[in-house]
Structure 1
Amino acid sequence: MQVSSLGLDGVYEIFPNRFEDERGFFSETYNRNGLLDAGIETEFVQDNQSFSTAVGTMRGLHFQKSPKAQYKLVRVIKGRIFDVAVDIRRGSKTFGEWVGLEISEKKWNQILVPEGYAHGFVTLEANTIVAYKVSDFYSREHERSIRFDDPQIGVNWPIGARRMIVSAKDASAPSLEDSDLE
């Protein structure tokens, strides 16, 4: 397993080991000891999966506020996404900054998004399947969203906002400035 920082505190790109032969491949997509060896100490309690039929499907920016904040370990089973993590920790020197990463079945990479970050992605291929682990259970009471196209954050999405397919919930999300972060 290869783990490298993406420049924001606690956000990592992970490349699980992949062993290929004439039959195909085998990979441990999650290995707790591998993360511990990289200094990442979190435990996951729930697996989630999404399927998006169209290119440009936007999901995010989502987070759960404390005490139900979540780490997310995100990977693509089929297709390709542009994945984003936004630092929403008030008082952090990188508050409001974001990092983006293309994740795909071909690259076989993952992103680890820690607590204190909003997370979202847009699909870059049709029929994309995304799977992710979370460190706390879903809580409707603690679930929050931030507008994916908030100019204060300024995410440079590879697909323009007018071409994105956005849920009503995500389209009406508040700006970072107006969000209930704590």
Structure 2
Amino acid sequence: MDIRALKIAGAWEITPKQFGDNRGVFLEWFKSSAFTAVTGRTLELAQANCSVSAAGSLRGIHFTDNPPGQAKYVTCVKGAFLDVVVDLRVGSPTFGEWDSVLIDDVDRKAVYLSEGLGHAILSLEDGSTVMYLCSIEYSPEFDRDLDPFDPELNITWPTTDRAGNPLTYELSAKDSAAPSLHALRTQGLLPRSTAPSP
């Protein structure tokens, strides 16, 4: 597998090698030894999630109080998503910046994001299915949301689906009411960077 660091420290894009024949395709979407060799991290698995989404479904931006923090390893098994990682760590050199990866059922890429990073996915096709491994179990008392359309972040969301049709964004009530980056920072609800000062 090929593992590439994203521009946000603590986030990586993972592209597996696929082996196909007349029966179908085989791939390793996670391999501990390869992952640890490149990232220097181990993946503690506490929960595995699966989410199926209609085109235009936008889930996030979600993050977890850090500590305890929640790391995620995310892949798409059907359809396509734009996977967006946002640096929410106050004091980080890339605070407020974002990066994205197209995860789909063609290249079968995965994204790993460390604790303290925000995460969102936008479905680009009906029935798109994402699966992700989590380092801690879901705990609502630590769960936080950030407005995915916050102009301070200026995320470039796709306006068309996988087939080129216009997208209509669909958000949960909770995500629609999510606060801005400024509000979360003012209230002291953002994670702090644990990187040493330069």
With normalisation by structure 2, the TM-score equals 0.87
8 Å Cα contact 1:5/1:12 also seen in 2? yes
1:46-100 CA-to-partner distances (Å, cap 9, x unmatched) read 1111011x21000000011122211111100100011100000000111000001
1:51 corresponds to which residue? 52
2:7 corresponds to which residue? 7
The Cα of 1:39 is off from its aligned counterpart by 2.8
User: Which consecutive residues of structure 1, in runs of 5 or more, have no partner in the other structure?
Assistant: none
How far apart in 1 are the matches of 2:49 and 2:73? 10
The Cα of 1:113 is off from its aligned counterpart by 1.2
1:25-174 residue pairs with structure 2 within 5 A?
25-42=25-42, 43-52=44-53, 54-159=54-159, 163-174=168-179
With normalisation by structure 1, the TM-score equals 0.94
How far apart in 2 are the matches of 1:134 and 1:18? 24
Percent identity of equivalent pairs: 38
The Cα of 1:44 is off from its aligned counterpart by 2.2
How far apart in 1 are the matches of 2:141 and 2:159? 31
Runs of 4+ in 1 over 2 A off after TM superposition: none
Equivalent pairs counted in the alignment come to 180
How far apart in 2 are the matches of 1:154 and 1:56? 18
The Cα of 1:102 is off from its aligned counterpart by 0.9
8 Å Cα contact 1:63/1:118 also seen in 2? yes
How far apart in 2 are the matches of 1:152 and 1:39? 29
2:190 corresponds to which residue? 181
Report the residue type matching 2:29 in the other structure. Answer: T
The Cα of 1:36 is off from its aligned counterpart by 1.1
- Residue 66 of structure 1 aligns to a residue in which SS? coil
The Cα of 1:159 is off from its aligned counterpart by 2.5
8 Å Cα contact 1:68/1:137 also seen in 2? no
1:18-46 CA-to-partner distances (Å, cap 9, x unmatched) read 22122112112211111111133132221
8 Å Cα contact 1:72/1:114 also seen in 2? yes
8 Å Cα contact 1:56/1:122 also seen in 2? yes
8 Å Cα contact 1:76/1:110 also seen in 2? yes
How far apart in 2 are the matches of 1:64 and 1:11? 15
User: Which consecutive residues of structure 2, in runs of 5 or more, have no partner in the other structure?
Assistant: 161-166, 192-198
The Cα of 1:169 is off from its aligned counterpart by 0.2
How large is the RMSD of aligned CA atoms in angstroms? Answer: 1.4
Using the TM superposition, name which of 133-142 and 33-42 deviates more: 33-42
Report the residue type matching 1:156 in the other structure. Answer: T
